[in-house]
Amino acid sequence: MLGPDEKINYVASNAIIKLLYDQMLKEHEDRLSDLKSREVLYVTDLVSCSHKRELRILYPEIYFRFEPTAILGGLAHRGLEQYLIEQGFEVEKEFEIPFELDERIYRIKGRVDARKEDLVVEIKTARSDQGIPHLHHVMQLQVYLVLLDAAQGILIYITPSRLAEYRIDRVEIDLKTLVEETVYDLRHPRWSWECKYCPFSRICAYTT
């Protein structure tokens, strides 16, 4: 039996970390053609800095994130989604909606975490519960509700200190303005805090 003064010999291992890396890298590579396409608009693009999309199109490899917070968030999503499957929800539902702007057709793409009949569930993980629910998360969920013609959404936060859940009714939003701002790069940044967390901040002319 090991005592408090016993020395434990160990060597570094990357067996599981490499599996996680390979899986996340494959998911990123599978999306590369969409990430570089000017015809594709992600729902998250519509509620974020418009110039972030421009830089993502030019430098999609920089968009890849392999760090503990991203991995923890992904694992938390998968765990809760598995439980929701058992409760009759469909999870990781991808969709694509055509949208015409100035005689050009764009494809608005999104993926909701879970859906059951007229209810859409969006799962968020965060380091802190300060300021939740965040307005950009509410806007994202509202865009989902409008595009999918769903009546209600649930926004649930998983943080180290709190679980918080918010039910949100659908309201009409100005989707055309959001698309215009994004396509023509008119909101950079959209939120004052974005530059701090943006992977493109060191090559961006609008970084504050």
| Residue range 69-128, pLDDT digits in tens | 889 999 999 999 999 999 999 999 999 999 999 999 999 999 999 999 999 999 999 889
The average pLDDT across 6-22 equals: 90
The average pLDDT across 147-170 equals: 96
C-alpha to C-alpha distance for 132 and 197, rounded to whole angstroms: 17
Query: Which residues are CB-contacts of 180 (< 8 A; sequence separation ≥ 6)?
Result: 101, 186
Q: What percent of the chain has pLDDT over 90?
A: 91
The average pLDDT across 52-77 equals: 93
Average pLDDT, the chain: 94
First to last CA, the chain: 57
pLDDT at 1 over 70: no
Please, which pLDDT band fits residue 16 given cuts at 50, 70 and 90? very high
C-alpha to C-alpha distance for 51 and 101, rounded to whole angstroms: 18
Claim: this prediction has a pTM higher than 0.85: yes
The average pLDDT across 31-59 equals: 97
The average pLDDT across 130-135 equals: 94
Q: Virtual CA dihedral for 140, 143, 148, 153, nearest 10 degrees?
A: 50
pLDDT at 4 over 80: no
Q: Which backbone phi and psi does 7 adopt, to 5 degrees? A: -95, 130
Q: For residue 171, what is the DSSP state?
A: -
The average pLDDT across 137-150 equals: 97
Q: For residue 151, what is the DSSP state?
A: S
Q: Which backbone phi and psi does 180 adopt, to 5 degrees? A: -60, -45
- Contact indicator for 128, 136 with CB cutoff of 8 Å: no
pLDDT value of position 147: 96
pLDDT value of position 35: 96
Tokens of 20: 């996680």
Between the alpha carbon of residue 125 and those of residues 15, 18, 44, 55, 56, the distances in Å are 26, 23, 16, 25, 23
Specify the length of the chain in residues: 208
